[in-house]
Chain A
């Protein structure tokens, strides 16, 4: 029978020395950088090092391992780094940072979310809506309704409506109805409001 049992060699663990890992992070071999990035996350000063390397790191696998490591360790330092990256010009960095923020414990973000939703950059406000999706329905509804009320950028409004259509509660209905008048000339926003209102009402009716 060709089946065998052997005592296997383990997969190599990464070096435990920070200097060695730093050298590996600059390697031309993506697999080596990948392994170094994975190990550095848990080292003192590691997050700062990896954050500095992200902008020039072209390999999506190495980027992924940095983002998921920051999400897993869930430190305030990591969260601050990710929040900064939401302003990046690079779509892949923005999306990666958003994804990692969404995977962090909700209470780490809850305090930062209101200020992100007031950010002067509409792209940041838009991305921040996605973070509200992971929050309890009532909190998310409040944040999205408040934003929608004061927001003028149509794509940010669309993002609030997308979240409200999924998890919105009845307290969003008055704001949505007022927005319907405001956005009557934008076919997509009018459509988005209609769907969000319809879904919230259906959930409401079924709860009675």
Chain B
């Protein structure tokens, strides 16, 4: 793939999905594309690109899948967790609050690794945690994964990024290959079904301080993505933050949010309520 082809591919993917690949990710993009070319029997960039553009047999979705490892595990994208405890929550508690509840939403939450990771991370890394009531919700459109999330039973691979100390503190081993989250943790997180493009469903979840919404908007078409962004905007308190996946950008989706750059991540913010002018 030459320079020009790389840029054309990136532009198409950006327009179509909102995913952003910089020059720094070129090697990664080339590897994934080589895999897809092999899988589809394409012999040149031009023939693969033509296939991708016409979305032959759902190639766009296949291409996205190649980039978003669908396997989830604890402490995945921990730079965002770092950002949560170092930048986002400290800003959320700057202003006097009516109550001591901090609300965090993980959507989609899949089998629960993300909301549980947020819980463990905050207990371990946010010194002010004890001064607040932290409410974490996990939601997904797929009710089967929600059952698995509630059960809280995980295999070895899901725990690969956690230290032995953390595993010993928050899990009980059930057999050679499986660990169950301790009851205290499992019972402190709620799970619910939600469809992000249905305002009646999203509104029922209330307003949050921080929303993690990773690797789902890229699969939506343009109109649905914009609707989902509006629903998520409603689900944020004024000044609340939303984190997307590491290759995703809100810039292709919606101008509703302000962009904030913190040391560990780009996040998007619902502006504080303001009058005209």
Which A residues fall within an 8 A CB radius of B?
1-6, 8-13, 28-31, 35, 38, 58-61, 64-65, 68, 71-72, 74, 102-104, 136-137, 166-167, 202-203, 205-207
Contact = CB atoms under 8 A, between A and B. Distances in A.
A46 B33 CA distance: 46
Given A29-B273, A166-B12, 8 more contacts: A3-B119, A4-B135, A29-B275, A38-B230, A64-B256, A71-B226, A72-B223, A72-B227
B212 to A, nearest CB: 16
B230 A6 contact: no
B46 A203 contact: yes
B94 interface: no
Contacts of B59: none
Contact of A59 (B50, B184, B254, B276): B276
Nearest to B54: A137
A206 B133 contact: no
Interface string B198-216: 0110111111000000000
Given A2-B132, A203-B50, A102 B188 contact: no
19 contacts: A2-B131, A2-B134, A4-B135, A8-B103, A11-B206, A13-B200, A28-B275, A61-B255, A64-B255, A64-B256, A68-B254, A72-B223, A103-B223, A166-B12, A203-B47, A203-B49, A206-B46, A206-B47, A206-B50
A3 B230 contact: no
A8 B206 CA distance: 6
B142 interface: no
B136 interface: yes
Interface string B38-64: 000001111101100110000000000
A163 B207 CA distance: 42
Contacts of B43: 206
Contacts of A68: 223, 226-227, 230, 254
Interface in B223-267: 223, 226-227, 230, 234-235, 238, 254-256
A38 B223 CA distance: 14
Interface string B99-124: 00101000000000000000100010
Interface in B187-205: 187-190, 199-200, 202-205
A11 B203 contact: yes
A205 B129 contact: no
B7 to A, nearest CB: 12
A2 B54 contact: no
A61 B258 CA distance: 11
Contacts of A31: 238, 273
A58 B123 CA distance: 44
B222 interface: yes
B134 A11 contact: no
A40 to B, nearest CB: 14
Contacts of A4: 101, 133-135, 188
A202 B255 contact: no
A13 to B, nearest CB: 6
Nearest to A29: B275
Nearest to A165: B8
A4 to B, nearest CB: 4
A207 B47 contact: yes
Given A4-B134, A64-B254, A64-B256, A13 B203 contact: yes
B95 interface: no
Contacts of A5: 135, 187-190
A104 B207 CA distance: 30
B188 A3 contact: yes
Which 4 pairs, one residue from A and one from B, show the smallest C-beta to C-beta distance? A3-B188, A8-B206, A206-B46, A68-B226
